[in-house]
Amino acid sequence: MAYKFEKLEVWTRALDYSDQLYDIAEQLPKHERYNLADQMTRAVNSIALNVAEGSTGLSDAEQDRFLRIAVRSLLETIACLHLIKRREYLEDLNPLREAYRESETLFAKLQAFRASLDTDSSVREPSVEYDDEAPF
Instruction: Evaluate whether residue 125 is within a structural domain.
Output: no
Instruction: Evaluate whether residue 122 is within a structural domain.
Output: no
Instruction: Evaluate whether residue 129 is within a structural domain.
Output: no
Instruction: Evaluate whether residue 40 is within a structural domain.
Output: yes
State how many domains the chain has: 1
Q: Whole domain around residue 76: which residue ranges? A: 4-116
Q: How high is the pLDDT of residue 129?
A: 53
Instruction: Evaluate whether residue 127 is within a structural domain.
Output: no
pLDDT tens digits, one per residue of 63-95: 999 999 999 999 999 999 999 999 999 999 999
Q: Hey, what long-range contacts does 89-97 have (CB within 8 A, 24 or more apart)?
A: 89/27, 89/28, 89/29, 89/32, 90/24, 90/27, 90/28, 95/20, 95/23, 95/24, 95/27, 96/24
pTM: 0.84
Q: How high is the pLDDT of residue 1?
A: 61
Q: How high is the pLDDT of residue 83?
A: 97
